[in-house]
Amino acid sequence: MSESVAISAKGLTKRFGDLTAVDSIDLEIPEAAIYGFLGPNGSGKSTAIRMLCGLLTPSAGEVEVLGYKVPGQAEKVKREIGYMTQKFSLYEDLTVTENLKFLATVYGVPANKLKETVDGAVERYWLTEQRSQFAATLSGGQKQRLALAGATLHRPRLLILDEPTSAVDPQSRRDFWDILFGLAEEGTTVLVSSHYMDEAERCHRLAILDEGRVVAEGRPRDLIRDIGAGVVEIETSAPRAARDCLEKIDGVQSVAQLGARLHALTAKSVEDPEGLVSNALKQADVDAEVATVMANLEDVFVVATRLNHEQGKSNDAA
């Protein structure tokens, strides 16, 4: 891909005392796309995002955002980014329009365009009915739309969202993503962190973070294709027994339960994953239907974090 780069980071590191929250990550985030940070809580997503916004000073590494060095030129970057914090951070004791007016002024929207800008945002983010309601009384989804409206008033080139949908119902989440796609189409670069697999799947590109490291990076489809493991789906009435049995088998790296089904991930060296699994289950006398399937993003996540842990252990041993 030869498109221009919105964010690039080399060896980005943040240490808090003995804890290394972000461990030498390299990033290249293209413009006008939705880029995802996927990882569990404590994987360093928020810390990385805060460094990219210039809110935290990196312990080591270089960052360039929209062509500006961060943190050196952080103040210039701040005019061109919109940042939506994990926790709702607008004023709960101000109304929807009061919050937006305040932010628009702070972002330097000219006085004669203030009303137009605020009205436009209220309409665009479906807050017309709530416009004179206090922010504290909004629902989770409304608060989130208000926060997004506030972060986009000044038409930023880069929008950074830290777990935007963690307190929101599924329908609101879908609506929210529709808005994000719209923004990306208009040319905004969107960086979004999440711990939801289905959200990660919607991103154009994705970095999986685990314990402060980028353990996998690429387009979701490519990541799934290049998983480097066999994925076997097992449907059984005795998932517990099947799991216990499979976890003891050499060549099976992990077993995860997805509703009534199990996903067993087998090592690359295993030539016939399906055969290995079905034989093992037969021997253990567990009745099950077995099929090789396409990996999903969760499988990718499990494999990548597992590799990271194994490397961590061997590094410690060496």
Partner 1 sequence: MLRRLLAIAGKEIRQLKRDRLTFGMIVGVPLLQILLFGYAIDLDVRNVEAAVADHANTSLSRQLIASADASQVVKITRSASGPEELRELLDTGQIDVGIFIPPDFERRVIDGHRPVGQLLINGSDPTVERIARGLSEMPLPGQRARQLLFAPRTYYNPERRSPVNIVPALIGVILHMTMVLFTAIAIVRERERGNLEMLITTPVKPAELMLGKITPYVLIGLIQVTLIVLVSRWLFDVPVRGSITDLYLASMFFILASLALGLTVSTFAKTQFEAMQLTVFTFLPSILLSGFMFPFEGMPRAAQWIGEVIPLTHFVRLSRGILVRGTEIGALHREIWPLLVFFAVFMVVATLRFKKRLD
Which residues contribute to the site for partner 1 (CB under 8 A)? 50, 53-57, 71, 74-75, 78-79, 81, 83, 85, 87-94, 98, 102-103, 105-108, 111, 150
Closest contact distance (angstroms) between CB of 79 and partner 1 is 5
- Which CB sits closer to partner 1, 39 or 54? 54
- Which CB sits closer to partner 1, 19 or 111? 111
Cα–Cα dist 148/156, whole Å? 11
Residue type, 312: G
Read off φ and ψ for residue 234, nearest 5 degrees. Answer: -120, 125
Closest contact distance (angstroms) between CB of 151 and partner 1 is 8
- Which CB sits closer to partner 1, 107 or 196? 107
Closest contact distance (angstroms) between CB of 65 and partner 1 is 12
Closest to 284 (Cα-Cα) out of 229, 223, 225, 243: 243
Closest to 59 (Cα-Cα) out of 68, 69, 48, 67: 48
Closest contact distance (angstroms) between CB of 128 and partner 1 is 21
- Which CB sits closer to partner 1, 13 or 236? 13
Closest contact distance (angstroms) between CB of 260 and partner 1 is 40
| Six-digit token string for 138 | 């909004």
- Which CB sits closer to partner 1, 89 or 283? 89
Rounded to a whole number of angstroms, the CA Rg of the chain reads 23
- Which CB sits closer to partner 1, 14 or 173? 14
Closest contact distance (angstroms) between CB of 133 and partner 1 is 14
Closest contact distance (angstroms) between CB of 191 and partner 1 is 13
Cα–Cα dist 100/96, whole Å? 6
Residue type, 162: D
Angle between helices 96-106 and 114-124 (to 10 degrees): 130
Closest contact distance (angstroms) between CB of 283 and partner 1 is 56
- Which CB sits closer to partner 1, 25 or 252? 25
The number of beta carbons lying within 10 Å of the beta carbon of residue 41 is: 9
- Which CB sits closer to partner 1, 136 or 260? 136
